[in-house]
Amino acid sequence: MGASMDWYETSNALVPSQNDLGWLISRGGGDLPYFTGSDASGWEDSIWILNSFYELPVEGALPTYGEIHKSRIAAGGEEPLILNGGNLGEITPGTSMGLGYERRPSEDWRRRTWSDMLVRFPRPRPADGPPPCHSWFLGHEFPVNIELPTEGSLGEEDFTELINVLTHHSSAPTCSIYFANVFSSVDDPHKAPVYDAHLMDLPALLKEAAEEHQVFTPANIWPPDRSWLVYTDYDLWATKVSGSTQLINEFRTNPLLETLDWTPAQATNQAT
């Protein structure tokens, strides 16, 4: 039996590229885990696009995800996960956190900002990291009418707007893309598969693929002149865009996206 293929390997909208990840790995210091996405430096500016929270307005108090999770275990409907004699369900109770690309929920669901969620569900975070991700919150404390951001991928709304902005700042209609694969058996990042595609085709491609597969937005996207870079790590709740000051300022002022200027405290100290 042959090895299974990922959905993008059979897509007619994607063609194998002559590019590889070598330039990106080198520009990022040479030791980045390309299998979750690779970040790099060297552009004028950068910004983080935060994945979306959604809330369904309801009357009255609701149970939290943690409470629902524990009640299911107590009722015998969900087996606790025991590791080395410890019950992980008591340590890391269930949340609404999803994985991968998701379409926008129905209009009944209202988008909520991270600034609002950080006030409503505060948790101390170290200034030097990590980047925006699940550890910025205690997901099990959220009531069940709040849908947390998905991990490792932009959602439909944000990805579509990302591509709309990038299209106006690209010298060519095509781009190179890399889909992270944490289960990759490729030891050499130069041999990791990179594809070429029309930039404006990507939102429709992801939306269609999501009907039959669990998909992720690309871990990295860049144009032929490498004037900008999109970086979406498999383990984060946000996407970093690096490029010119003009491009990044357009993201900062975009009313359809929630963005954050975030840099680890260590990097900030080194730069000052």
Average pLDDT over residues 160-179: 95
Query: pTM for the full model?
Result: 0.86
264 band by pLDDT with thresholds 50, 70 and 90: confident
Chain segment 76-135, per-residue pLDDT in tens:
655 544 333 443 344 344 445 678 898 888 888 999 999 999 999 998 877 777 899 988
Average pLDDT over residues 3-18: 86
Which residues, including other chains, have CB under 8 Å from residue 178's CB and lie 6 or more apart? 21, 34, 37, 38, 192, 193, 194, 195, 218, 219, 220, 221
Whether 160 shows a pLDDT value over 70: the answer reads: yes
Whether 272 shows a pLDDT value over 50: the answer reads: no
* Residue in the block written with tokens 């209609």: 173
- Residue 71 has which token pair? 């009640």
Percent of the chain's residues with pLDDT above 90 = 50
Residue with more model confidence, 220 or 190: 220
3-state secondary structure labels for all residues of the chain: CCCCCCHHHHCCCCEECCCCCHHHHHHCCCCCCHHHCCCCCCCCEEEEEECCEEECCCCCCCCEHHHHHHHHHHCCCCCCCEECCEEHHHHCCCCCCCECCCCCCCCCCEEECHHHHHHHCCCCCCCCCCCCCHHHCCHHHCECCEECCCECCCCHHHHHHHHHHHHCCCCCCEEEEECCCCCCCCCCHHHCCCEEEEHHHHHHHHHHHCCCCCCCCCCEEECCCCCCEEEECCCCCEEEEEECHHHHHHHHCCCCCCEECCCCHHHHHHHC
Q: For the chain, what is the mean pLDDT?
A: 84
Between 50-59, 137-146, 215-224, 227-236, the lowest mean confidence (pLDDT) is in 137-146
